[in-house]
Chain A
């Protein structure tokens, strides 16, 4: 099955950029997502990218996809304390997209003053 890996923890200073990385194994994955989870809450969809794209920018968020290396990253510009949360990448299972997602292990982002 699909494996999705992330580093567990990232600490940055307020105002710096944060880069959260994710690797996956299934080359047929077509939709790749980033979700944010605050303590005790559900998941909030931040952004997503199709596998035929290599970059997507949405305000402070930039998603980069290296399909050859099966590597996905999320860059948060001008990181704020409100960005502190756990960030999950998720990959749509199998070709054609679909809604069954495999989630990464989650990266806890801590933003320090």
Chain B
């Protein structure tokens, strides 16, 4: 199946710093990637839709200046948590669709990136 990789898998940072998380589709091109946030023992919440070559579409309640998304190529999307605070600590997961499979709507997920802000 298609592979989506995230990096880093785990990051600890000080409050006020910015953290970048990368999401790569390793064996397919993804014009659209999605970023989710998952709190402990809870479901995934869609944060934004990342479109290659254009601005991301953010879900209601998600601060676009806080969570910067860049989708510069067909295999890479980045999420930057700016001026991170402890409440930003969470598990961030990206997903991408392999439109080449012909199975519309089938998403593949990265391994997730756990952010802890001290």
Residues of A at under 8 Å CB distance from B?
30-31, 33, 35, 40-45, 48, 88, 92, 97-106
Chain B residues within 8 Å of A104, by CB: 43
A97-B105, A105-B42 known; A42+B110 contact, CB < 8 A:
yes
A99-B32, A103-B43 known; A41+B106 contact, CB < 8 A:
no
Query: Is B93's CB under 8 angstroms from A43's CB?
Result: yes
Q: In the complex, how many angstroms separate the beta carbon of B61 from the nearest chain A beta carbon? A: 12
Query: Is A42's CB under 8 angstroms from B111's CB?
Result: yes
Query: Is B43's CB under 8 angstroms from A41's CB?
Result: no
Q: In the complex, how many angstroms separate the beta carbon of A13 from the nearest chain B beta carbon? A: 24
Interface SS of B by simple majority: strand
Chain B residues within 8 Å of A101, by CB: 34, 46, 107
Chain A to chain B: the 6 pairs with minimum beta-carbon distance, closest first: A97-B105, A43-B109, A31-B105, A42-B111, A42-B109, A42-B112
Pair count A-B, CB < 8 A: 56
Answer whether residue B6 sits at the interface, using C-beta atoms and an 8 A cutoff.
Answer: yes
List 18 A-B pairs, Cβ < 8 Å. Answer: A30-B105, A31-B104, A31-B105, A40-B114, A41-B112, A42-B93, A43-B93, A48-B106, A97-B104, A98-B105, A99-B105, A100-B34, A100-B46, A100-B49, A101-B34, A101-B46, A102-B46, A103-B43
Query: Is B107's CB under 8 angstroms from A45's CB?
Result: yes
What's the Cα separation between A51 and B15 when bound, in Å?
46
Q: Which residue of A lies closest to B114 (CB)?
A: A40
Chain A residues within 8 Å of B104, by CB: 31, 97-98
Q: In the complex, how many angstroms separate the beta carbon of B22 from the nearest chain A beta carbon? A: 14
What's the Cα separation between A14 and B34 when bound, in Å?
36
What's the Cα separation between A45 and B2 when bound, in Å?
11
Answer whether residue B108 sits at the interface, using C-beta atoms and an 8 A cutoff.
Answer: yes
Q: In the complex, how many angstroms separate the beta carbon of B59 from the nearest chain A beta carbon? A: 9
